[in-house]
Structure 1
Amino acid sequence: MGKAGFSAERLQRIDRFIEEKYIGPGRLPCAQVLIARRGEVVHETVLGHRDLERGLPCEADTLFRIYSMTKPITSVAFMMLVEEGKVALDDPVDRYIPEWKDLGVYAAGNLGAYATTRPARPMQVVDLLRHTSGLTYGFQNRTMVDYAYRKTGVGEMGGKLSLAGMIAELAKLPLEFAPGEAWNYSVSTDVVGYLVEKISGQPFQDFLKQRIFEPLGMAETGFEVPAGQEKRFSACYNITPRGGLKLQDDPAASGYLAPPAFYSGGGGLVSTAADYMKFAQMLLNRGELNGKRLLAPKTLQLMASNHLPGDKDLTQLSRSMFSESTNAGVGFGLGFAVVMDPPKTLIPCSKGEFYWGGAASTAFWVDPVEELTVVFMTQAMPSSGYPIRRELRTLVYAALEETNG
């Protein structure tokens, strides 16, 4: 028996598997796996290169684009304001964004000339946190509404629109569906970031730094690469049709080297595995880390419960062409996916486990039953390119010999 109930021999399988299937054949540029149980790091894998072109190895302190792993952080920030009584989950969104008061649902038409219908009820704050708002992402390439997002630059990382500019553009566009009617992965969490800024009265990026990153000791997490740390920043790659890699973002010329125009609460952060593990450990500890409490246990319990209408799972409610989740047996809480029915997922997991991932194939999960947190970092897009997340879950649980449930 190894540390904290894990088999040391079986943990080594993780390294061999990733090296032989992904790093060696050039399918992924690098991989970092950090596993902790009961607050103790039990295994760390660091493989491959953070920069293939320059031959620079991945290291324990490599900086990664975490993309949608920003979403849980933004959601925690918002729930801190809920705890302070400054906003409620059932508040109408137009209370804070008056220009959205008459948003209609798309019926017909094209950019600038839409026919809309009136939704049965206004969009509520909870719709933003659980992605039932009727908003979308432009990259889904599915409807006339996401086409309009692409044309106007709504939610575009590295684009010209500011957070306030995105809100103004969205006021001119219809919803894809009536709030609460369906689940669709969207710019909703970017809007949550805007609400944090408006309700708190301070810039969104400053709120995250002062209220989350500094208390948790996440000194390397932010919307840009820290000055003087550029050499630690990873390259990002696109997975090619033949299974190779093509440079997507050169770390020496990346937009992440300077402050962005758009502070994206949905996908804008850079972080390290160690920093994100601190955040995940805070979640496992029900809102506290090293004596610093961000949220109360009951608030975390609420966030990690399924909030999809009718207690449905994502297979029943999702309209999204793109998702970070495996849908069967999985619901969605206030900022992350939540396992409702483990057998339906067809992979080892625990009821109540919650997780999410990013566009460059990064991922994390928190398992309260097994007191387990896992962070996975790499930089390969799209996240649907390989089943590495499912495989990693199987490998980690296969190494866990002493279980709680």
Structure 2
Amino acid sequence: MSIVVTSVSESVQTQQPRGVDVTEIDQLLSAAVEDKVIPFGVAMVTDRHGVLWSGVAGNRTPDVAATTDTLFRIFSMSKAIGAVAANILIDKQLLTLDTPVVDILDDFKNIQVLDGYGSNGPNLRDPRTPITVRHLLTNSAGFAYPGWSDRQSTFALLTDAPHPNSGLLDAIRGPLMFDPGEGMVYGYGFDWIGPLIEELDGRRVVEFCQAEIFDPLGMIDTMFEPDRAIDRLATGTLRTPDGSFTPFVVSPPAQPEVYGLGQALYGTAPDYIRFLRFFLNKGELDGRRLLSPEGFERMTTPQAGSLTMPVMKTTASVFSADANLCPESSKTWTTGFLTNTSDLEGRRRAGSLTWAGFLNTHYWADPTTGVAAVLMTQLLPFVDPEFMNLYDTFERTVYKTFAHTPGAMT
């Protein structure tokens, strides 16, 4: 077991502010590993100018210590990157938020709404309103992941639908749980960004993201396949009933029909902290602007009207607890992020941007205070209660530690 604090690697230079006592935050990760809260962890904090703090604890594989450049399966942390891709297409006037997706993708001609069950199985009907790009990016289209939807889980069992991690387009073709725009449910909407990119731009998803996002932002270790960094890939783990950890491998689908950008990516803490700093700087990083002011606003302000995000009730407790990030506040979606509508005492301010990956890779960006952070491991179940207690403590400690740092918390 080891902890490296304010570490320096090829991936990150930490610029710890003078006069800031980081003792408390230094101890969090090592204590969490010692107490078997997490098998290992990598965490980083940034303001608008650079990394304020980084810490590493534990082993990423049984015999190899974690480092800042440890490679993670970031799963749904991919969604915000996919949303940037979609907003780039909007900025290029290739579509709008309210473009019906069926006007671009023929697949959407046959997507239907689940309207209960009859003697012959599921009752399906055409949606009353078309699915728009806005619906895809705000989880309001009606697509649902079976892991947090009893109705979708039942449908998948009855129809022998492909597993959501199969990489097959058939796995994300529905049905819808409600008519588009009539509710919020966590699901496959972002997975359709990949097909939209390839249809409208002409490049493959991998080429588009590399040229339009990863290269401009200096995200040198964000990738669709882990082959070139397999020696840095962390082991996935599952918490067993007795509290110990056992290896459990679950990864984004390899070589899928289309990289959907809902769960496709691998990445590192330094790369994602750069991505978040891009949002702290209003869509610009190191002199490179990827989003128009309008695109930045679409990604940082609510875009789903009066809809709010409900608690995600698990259908498989071994893989996920009930998910309710920021339970103290109501929440909705921008085009890419979950955002809290009120301040969280001692923590992030209203209008902060957040989401997470399936193996408990978590982040937030707080444009009001100018601070963002990641806390990453590779552990199931998702939103494991012990992990979430650590995440809460980590966030509170970040705000307490850096409250008076120049450039942060202002």
- TM range, normalised to the smaller chain? 0.7 to 0.9
Q: Does the CA contact (< 8 Å) of 1:137 and 1:149 recur in 2?
A: no
Structure 1 333/141 Cα, relative in aligned 2: closer, same or farther at 3 Å? closer
Q: Does the CA contact (< 8 Å) of 2:20 and 2:402 recur in 1?
A: no
Q: Report the TM-score, using the length of structure 2 for normalisation.
A: 0.85
Q: Distance in 2 between matches of 1:308 and 1:136?
A: 17
Aligned residue type for 1:394: R
Structure 1 partner of 2:164 = 155
Q: Report which stretch shifted further, 293-302 or 175-184.
A: 293-302
Q: Does the CA contact (< 8 Å) of 2:236 and 2:248 recur in 1?
A: yes
Q: Report the TM-score, using the length of structure 1 for normalisation.
A: 0.86
Q: Report which stretch shifted further, 326-335 or 207-216.
A: 326-335
Structure 2 partner of 1:24 = 34
Q: Does the CA contact (< 8 Å) of 2:98 and 2:132 recur in 1?
A: yes
Q: Does the CA contact (< 8 Å) of 1:185 and 1:323 recur in 2?
A: no
2:43 is equivalent to residue 48 of structure 1? no
- Please state how far the C-alpha of 1:373 moved relative to its aligned partner: 1.9
2:20 is equivalent to residue 8 of structure 1? yes
Structure 1 262/112 Cα, relative in aligned 2: closer, same or farther at 3 Å? farther
Q: Distance in 2 between matches of 1:397 and 1:111?
A: 56
Q: Does the CA contact (< 8 Å) of 1:183 and 1:320 recur in 2?
A: no
SS at match of 1:121: coil
Structure 1 189/117 Cα, relative in aligned 2: closer, same or farther at 3 Å? same
Structure 2 partner of 1:397 = 399
SS at match of 2:137: helix
2:65 is equivalent to residue 57 of structure 1? yes
2:357 is equivalent to residue 350 of structure 1? no
* Higher normalized helix content (fraction of residues): 1
Structure 1 partner of 2:85 = 77
Structure 2 partner of 1:243 = 243
Q: Does the CA contact (< 8 Å) of 2:283 and 2:293 recur in 1?
A: yes
Structure 2, unpaired ranges of 5+: 1-13, 315-321
2:324 is equivalent to residue 313 of structure 1? no
Structure 1 132/256 Cα, relative in aligned 2: closer, same or farther at 3 Å? closer
Structure 1 partner of 2:209 = 208
Structure 2 partner of 1:287 = 283
Structure 1 210/111 Cα, relative in aligned 2: closer, same or farther at 3 Å? farther
Q: Report sequence identity in percent.
A: 26
- Please state how far the C-alpha of 1:309 moved relative to its aligned partner: 2.8
Q: Distance in 2 between matches of 1:148 and 1:6?
A: 57
SS at match of 1:60: coil
Q: Distance in 2 between matches of 1:305 and 1:90?
A: 16
The equivalences for 1:2-401 within 5 A come to 8-9=20-21, 11-20=22-31, 22-52=32-62, 55-101=63-109, 103-109=111-117, 113-140=121-148, 142-143=150-151, 145-149=152-156, 151-156=160-165, 159=166, 161=168, 163=169, 165-166=170-171, 170=173, 173-227=174-228, 229-249=229-249, 259-260=255-256, 263-310=259-306, 312-315=307-310, 321=314, 323=323, 325-327=325-327, 328-342=329-343, 345=344, 348-385=347-384, 386-387=387-388, 388-401=390-403
The superposition leaves residues 157-205 of structure 1 with CA deviations (integer Å, 9 ceiling, x where unpaired) of xx252x4x546xx1xx431111111111101110122212221112112
The superposition leaves residues 281-315 of structure 1 with CA deviations (integer Å, 9 ceiling, x where unpaired) of 112211221222211233112211112332x4324
Q: Does the CA contact (< 8 Å) of 1:357 and 1:363 recur in 2?
A: yes
Q: Distance in 1 between matches of 2:34 and 2:278?
A: 34
Q: Does the CA contact (< 8 Å) of 1:135 and 1:186 recur in 2?
A: yes
Structure 1, unpaired ranges of 5+: none
Q: Distance in 2 between matches of 1:103 and 1:396?
A: 45
Q: Distance in 2 between matches of 1:47 and 1:246?
A: 18
Q: Distance in 2 between matches of 1:85 and 1:356?
A: 27
Structure 1 380/208 Cα, relative in aligned 2: closer, same or farther at 3 Å? same
Please provide the CA RMSD for this pair.
2.6
Q: Report which stretch shifted further, 99-108 or 278-287.
A: 99-108
Aligned residue type for 1:333: T
